[in-house]
Amino acid sequence: MILLSHPTGNEFVRAALDAFDRAGMLGEFWTTLSWNQKSPMNRFLPARLRRVSARRAFSETIRSRTRTVPFRETLRLFTGAFSVDAILRDLDRKVADRLRKIDSVDSIFAYEDAALESFRAARDRGLKRIYDLPIAYWQTSQRLLREEAQRYPDWEPTLVGTRDSEEKLSRKTEELHLAQLVICPSNFVLESLPAEARAQKQCLIAPFGSPDVDLDISGKRNSGPLRLLFAGALTQRKGLADLFAAMKLVKSEKVELVVMGSLLRPLNWYRDRFRDFIYEPPRPHGEVLRLMQSCDVFVLPSVVEGRALVQQEAMACGLPVIATKNAGADDAVIDGQTGFLVPVRSPEAIAEKINWFLANRANLDGMGIAARKRAAEFTWRAYGEKIVAAVRALACP
């Protein structure tokens, strides 16, 4: 039986939970908050809190095995009193205490930044230790982001990862050292690990699943400017400075750039760097998918990612993709069929592919169909079953 720990419970956590549950392997799930959407209190919550609570809701079978550590996370959400890192460490300590007291589990499945104390306690008791690394390993990330700070000094304030303390980075190092099985969502994340870790530890690439999307065929665009979409935090970690530079190279009134995501600087700061884009603020997932269907091509020239789910979401909406391998979906983006892979840090290559789409708009529909089909090949059930198989193999070498 396995104890799975995660501070929030996002889409890939839910897929892992469901897979362990179906396999009869889920002992306990530890998180900060768990919400019952059937609760009568839902009717009285403001819309914003309803959206937050919906992201913390789990199926009844999962909820029956869920233990929560709610105090700090609740205060963070309402007052900002605690940092995310403080929440992660508190959950980690509580899980470690639990592992020292129970005999009903033989494995711990934990995620980056919330695994160190849990893994120490598991090691001391001879339990298996599974580490999920959703983004590139810190040494690779730090190197790439520091190089970006030199390439684009004015964009450095958007590179949040460069501010991690030495103590936090040391914790990440020991988490990996203690792990026995490392789960990676992409080739990029696997290759970001130190060579000795790849050689000594069991490592698994488990690609994320894609959403099921009901396409609104009536809203399909057949004319007007080529409409490009960037979606994600407005940071150079996701290559936004390179995309702005590429747009200056395209110099065509027939291209329209839509930028959707959270601002890390004031909006005017971004417009000072490239004025001609349409800004769309963050929104619920269903509205993101509708926005995608109003666009023609998705662009994500990331420098550091794990596996940006937004790529597969765009492909599921019928959009071909321009992305880097570092965005994490190089197995989904097939050159000339579902989109194009471009070198990292190359505005020239991005501009070249944008111009290609301008010159070959007749290919958009076919590439969109191919992108949708390719996205459908990645399912959450397959993701979970791949992890279950690897954990079983770890338990029974």
Percentage of the chain modeled with pLDDT above 90: 80
pTM for the predicted model, two decimal places? 0.92
Q: What is the pLDDT of residues 250-272, one digit of tens each?
A: 988 899 999 999 999 999 999 99
- How far is residue 16's CA from residue 32's CA, in Å, rounded to a whole number? 17
* Residue range(s) in the chain whose domain bears CATH number 3.40.50.2000: 2-209+380-395, 217-376
Token pair 């104390």 in the structure block, residue: 117
Mean pLDDT of 136-151: 96
Q: What is the pLDDT of residues 315-369, one digit of tens each?
A: 999 999 999 999 999 999 999 999 999 999 999 999 999 999 999 999 999 999 9
Mean pLDDT of 1-13: 93
Ramachandran sector of residue 259 (left: φ over 0; alpha: ψ -120 to 50; beta: rest): beta
Percentage of the chain modeled with pLDDT above 70: 93
Average pLDDT, the chain: 92
The answer to whether 137 touches 300, Cβ cutoff 8 Å, is no
Mean pLDDT of 179-203: 97
- Place 156 in a pLDDT band, splitting at 50, 70 and 90: very high
Q: Which of 260, 206, 256 is nearest to 234 (CA)?
A: 260
> Domain 217-376, CATH 3.40.50.2000 — does that match?
yes
Residue 58 has pLDDT above 60, yes or no: yes
Instruction: Say what the pLDDT of residue 50 is.
Output: 61
Instruction: Say what the pLDDT of residue 223 is.
Output: 72
User: Span 2-209+380-395: which CATH code?
Assistant: 3.40.50.2000
3-state secondary structure of 75: helix
Token readout for 76 is 């963070």
